[in-house]
């Protein structure tokens, strides 16, 4: 008899998992509490996969042999609680994809900040080096959909903590942990340690022949890395640090403006001034990607070339336009305070900062010093801006409230002078005024273009 798999959530990961599960011979159905987007509904219809939207058929859900839960659904969801109580196994989409990946290799990247950039850069280096790799996970296609529709020998996957929460056997040959800072605590009972353990799960099933790449300058990572009691397991894989503070034998480090990478016998080196990605945080991301590339035996000159001609991602420190001497930068993907810290840290000119949205328990004190040093005005873009006024009211004037991307851009331009930068780096989620951070970034760019 076919194994019954019910998929909770009909977004990219849910529909991707459904397509793969059907191909693998499961009796599969999709269930979503809200309505599906047209493209996903069409995908399921074309594949003749049954689905229920705008509410679950609980009897059908509870009759499953296994449940695949989309990463956006929290543990406190009532249906999830009932599934847990009944003891039905729950897996994540990356776990399902892992079962059917065959002999393919996985390079998996997680972290609170920098994971999207590091993933995109790693994939770019692979392509430059002639590796037939797919870009999957939180970026691009869902991992499961890629395995179902267009399998590749190598998968470069951006993985969130939510996806790692429900893995059992998932094992990347190369795992990268960029850093760990407080984020998504609302999903982890406001216990930072729960979130930290979740991030480390990326290395949980790794074997001695696998590689774990991490930032030796990240305090939280270093506090936990060799403490099995704290993270719940022993890390078995080869540990490769990247750092700016020491010179490890293997891994990567930066010294006197040069990056050195070694995972085998010899070093690869290049000047940081040649990196396409600017800012100290991007030097860390570049080191992590280059260590992965070195393990994959990509030729040195190809790594060098890729690092020099990489184009940054949309909505991540993306230059939009310069209007009468004022530069506009779209960093809408900065949905937490740490991301905004990195953005401000790389600013070299007076900055008008556009902040705000849905606050996930933000601690703005992290950016107080940078705001003091670099920010001339703050434009709030959200429905509730009290915390921003409280945090910066004594430091920055003016702080003004706006209710749309158009208003925010016009206000920022009004307060700017030639030579300033207007930086959209909200430190918050976007769903009070926008569909998602992409929508926020696109509306911002549109408003800039109309100036």
pLDDT at 1: 85
Q: Report the pLDDT averaged over residues 137-158.
A: 93
Q: Report the pLDDT averaged over residues 369-380.
A: 97
pLDDT at 313: 74
pLDDT-based confidence at residue 152 (cuts at 50, 70, 90): very high
Beta-carbon contacts of 241 under 8 Å, excluding residues fewer than 6 positions away, are: 213, 214, 215, 216, 248, 251, 252
pLDDT-based confidence at residue 416 (cuts at 50, 70, 90): very high
pLDDT at 58: 93
Please identify which residue in the block is written with the tokens 């159905």.
29
Q: Is 29 left (phi over 0), alpha (psi -120 to 50) or beta?
A: beta
Q: Report the pLDDT averaged over residues 5-18.
A: 95
pLDDT-based confidence at residue 185 (cuts at 50, 70, 90): confident
pLDDT of 48 > 80? The answer is yes
pLDDT of 312 > 80? The answer is no
pLDDT at 87: 97
pLDDT-based confidence at residue 29 (cuts at 50, 70, 90): very high
pLDDT at 179: 95
pLDDT of 330 > 80? The answer is yes
SS (H, E, C) the chain: CCCEEEEECCCHHHHHHHHHHHHCCCEEEEECCCCCCHHHHHHHHHCCCEEECCCCCHHHHHCCCEEEECCCCCCCCHHHHHHHHHCCCEECHHHHHHHCCCCCEEEEEECCCCHHHHHHHHHHHHHHCCCCEEEEECCCECHHHHHHHCCCCEEEEECCHHHHCCCCCCCCCEEEECCCCCCCHHHCCCCHHHHHHHHHHHHCCCCCCCEEEEECCCHHHHHHCCCHHHHCCCCCCEEEEEECCCCCCCEEEEECCEEEEECCCCCEEEEHHHCCCCCHHHHHHHHHHHHHHHHCCCCHHHHHHHHHHCCCCCCCCEEEEEECCEEEEECCCCCCHHHHHHHHHCCCCCEEEEECCECCCCCHHHHHHHHHHHEEEEEEECCCCHHHHHHHCCCCCCEEEECCHHHHHHHHHHHCCCCCEEEECCCCECCCCCCCHHHHHHHHHHHHHCC
Domains in the chain with CATH codes: 4-91 (3.40.50.720), 95-309 (3.40.1190.10), 318-449 (3.90.190.20)
pLDDT of 190 > 90? The answer is no
pLDDT at 306: 96
What is the chain's mean pLDDT, rounded?
94
pLDDT of 73 > 80? The answer is yes
pLDDT at 283: 94
Q: Report the pLDDT averaged over residues 170-196.
A: 88
Tens digits of residue pLDDT in 273-299: 999 888 888 999 999 999 999 999 999
pLDDT of 3 > 90? The answer is yes
Q: Report the pLDDT averaged over residues 143-167.
A: 96
What is the Cα gyration radius of the chain?
A: 22
Q: Report the pLDDT averaged over residues 67-88.
A: 94
Beta-carbon contacts of 52 under 8 Å, excluding residues fewer than 6 positions away, are: 29, 30, 31, 32, 60
**Burial environment of residue 76 by CB neighbours within 10 A (0 to 12, 13 to 18, 19 or more):** exposed
pLDDT of 189 > 90? The answer is no
Q: Is 54 left (phi over 0), alpha (psi -120 to 50) or beta?
A: left
pLDDT-based confidence at residue 342 (cuts at 50, 70, 90): confident
pLDDT at 277: 86
pLDDT of 140 > 80? The answer is no
Tens digits of residue pLDDT in 257-267: 999 999 988 88
pLDDT at 339: 86
pLDDT at 68: 97
Q: Report the pLDDT averaged over residues 325-331.
A: 96
Q: Report the pLDDT averaged over residues 83-104.
A: 97
Tell me what percent of the residues of the chain surpass a pLDDT of 70.
100
pLDDT at 316: 84
> Phi first, then psi: what are they for 149, rounded to 5°?
-100, -30
pLDDT of 251 > 90? The answer is yes
């Amino acid at each position: 008899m076919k194994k019954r798999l019910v998929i909770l959530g009909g977004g990219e990961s849910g529909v991707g998992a459904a397509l793969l599960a059907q191909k693998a011979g499961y009796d599969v159905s999709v269930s979503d509490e809200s309505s599906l987007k047209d493209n996903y509904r069409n995908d399921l219809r074309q594949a003749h996969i049954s689905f229920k939207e705008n509410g679950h058929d609980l009897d059908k859900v509870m009759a499953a042999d296994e449940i695949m839960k989309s990463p956006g659904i929290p543990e406190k969801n009532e249906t999830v609680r009932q599934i847990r109580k009944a003891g039905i196994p729950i897996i994540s989409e990356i776990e399902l994809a892992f079962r059917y990946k065959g002999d393919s290799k996985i390079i998996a990247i997680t972290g609170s900040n920098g994971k999207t950039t590091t993933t995109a850069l790693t994939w770019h280096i692979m392509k430059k080096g002639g590796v037939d790799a797919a870009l999957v996970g939180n970026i691009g296609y869902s991992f499961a959909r890629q395995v179902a529709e267009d399998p590749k020998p190598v998968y470069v996957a951006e993985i969130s903590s939510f996806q790692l929460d429900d893995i059992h056997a998932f094992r990347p040959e190369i795992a990268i942990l960029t850093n760990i800072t407080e984020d998504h605590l609302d999903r982890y009972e406001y216990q930072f340690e729960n979130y930290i353990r979740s991030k480390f799960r990326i290395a949980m099933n790794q074997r001695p022949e696998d590689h774990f790449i991490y930032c030796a300058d990240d305090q939280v990572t270093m506090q936990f890395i060799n403490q099995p009691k704290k993270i719940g397991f022993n890390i078995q894989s080869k540990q490769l640090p990247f750092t700016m503070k020491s010179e490890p034998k293997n891994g990567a480090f930066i010294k006197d403006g040069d990056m050195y990478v070694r995972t085998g016998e010899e070093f690869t080196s290049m000047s940081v001034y040649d990196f396409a990605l600017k800012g100290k945080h991007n030097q860390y991301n570049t080191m992590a990607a280059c260590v992965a590339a070195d393990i994959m035996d990509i030729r040195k000159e190809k790594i060098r070339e890729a690092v020099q001609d990489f184009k940054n991602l949309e909505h991540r420190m993306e230059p939009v336009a310069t209007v009468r001497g004022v530069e506009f930068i779209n960093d809408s993907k900065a949905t937490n305070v740490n991301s905004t810290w990195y953005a401000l840290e790389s600013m070299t000119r007076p900055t008008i900062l556009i902040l705000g949205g849905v606050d996930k328990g933000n601690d703005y004190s992290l950016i107080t010093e940078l705001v003091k040093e670099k920010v001339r005005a703050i434009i709030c873009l959200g429905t509730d801006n009290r915390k921003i006024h409280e945090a910066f009211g004594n430091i920055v004037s003016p702080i003004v409230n706006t209710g749309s991307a158009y208003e925010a851009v016009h206000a920022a331009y009004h307060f700017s002078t030639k030579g300033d930068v207007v930086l959209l780096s909200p430190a918050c989620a976007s769903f009070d005024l926008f569909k998602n951070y992409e929508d926020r970034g696109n509306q911002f760019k549109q408003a800039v273009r109309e100036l």
